[in-house]
Each structure stands twice: as structure tokens, then as C-alpha cells.
Amino acid sequence: MVVMTLLVITLFFIVPRLSNTSFTNSINRTARWLDIASASLRARSQAEQRRCFLRVDMKARVLTAMAASNQDDGTVDKDEPVDSPFRDKDAATEKAPVVLGKFVLPSDTKVVDVAFPDMQVFYDGVVDIYFYKEGYADRAVIHMRNGDRMVSFFVEPFLTRVRMEDGYADF
């Protein structure tokens, strides 16, 4: 009888946790990756003195950590237009950004939008959040949905960690 009571009490506390583990694991995995990617992009941009960025592809549901190539200093070549037939095609491929890491969002998680403080909100497409060689980053909020729950991830200019809040939060 005592064993049965202990078993029932234990199951009473464990079963509610099991029903919510898919959400917790999906969001926690995404939060951990964003946190590590943000810290490493910030450190890499300072150490290598080149701009890095976090690319958020909302349609493909992929987060990509990238760094500008060694030849790319972040400036635009004003002498030749991008679509010019005289532009050196090999130079264009050399300036392609370097992929540092990729994270495919779990099937039950999607990016709702990416918001910036100047009231720019992107609901689809590809958005880049930049990490500059001076040590700061663009301030942005990445809103994600997992089932019926919303989560907001804050990328702050001078903080190395990404802050996570439940719900749809703004600046």
C-alpha cells in the first residue's frame, strides 16, 4: 500500500512534466544555440577585426552564424556596379561570407518575426543581425512560436548573452 501511494505521488508530479518536454526541449535547444552563437560571433568579430552576423531565414527556418570573408571589409565597391558584366566574377565568389555554424529549427518551432528598435519588423525573408568588430551588435528581438506559446529572444548591443522571455515582448 505504501509503495502504491509513493508511485501515485511520483507519477502525479512526473506526468505533467512529460507532456511539456517537447516545447521545453525545442525552445531550450534553440535558446542555447542562440546564446552560444551570439557570444562566439561577438568574440570572433573582435578577435579577427571583421564583421560577423547572424542570418535568420524565416522561410527555411534556419539560423546561420556567418563571418565576412577576409577580403570583405564591409564596404561596397563603388567603381563597378554589382550586375556589371565587367566585374570580376571570381572576386565576387571570394567575398562570399564564411559559414561558421547552422541551426535548423525543430519542426514545431518557427520564427514569427524579427524586430529592430527603429520600428522595423520583418515577417518573412532573410534578416541579418550584425556583430561589429568594435564589440557591439545590432539590437534585435527574434520572436518565435512553438505551438500556441510565443517566446522572444533579445540580442542586446553590449551583452554577450541572448535574453529569453516568454510571450511576445518588445523593447
Cell numbers found for residue 61: 527556418
Q: What is the pLDDT along the chain (171 residues), one digit of tens a residue?
A: 777 676 677 777 776 554 444 445 788 899 999 999 999 999 999 999 999 999 999 999 999 999 988 654 544 444 444 444 444 444 444 578 889 999 999 999 999 999 999 889 999 999 999 999 998 999 999 999 988 889 999 999 998 899 999 999 987
- The architecture in CATH of the region 21-166 reads 3-Layer(bab) Sandwich (3.55)
What does the pLDDT look like over 106-150, one tens digit per residue? Answer: 999 999 999 999 889 999 999 999 999 998 999 999 999 988 889
β-strand pairing of 163-166 with 149-155: antiparallel
Among 127, 139, 122, 161, which Cα is nearest to 55's?
127
The answer to whether the CB of 63 falls within 8 A of the CB of 89 is no
Exposure string over 100-120, b if 16+ CB within 10 A, otherwise e? beebebbeebebbbbbbeeee
Distance CA 59, CA 161 (A): 25
Strands 163-166, 98-104: pairing is unpaired
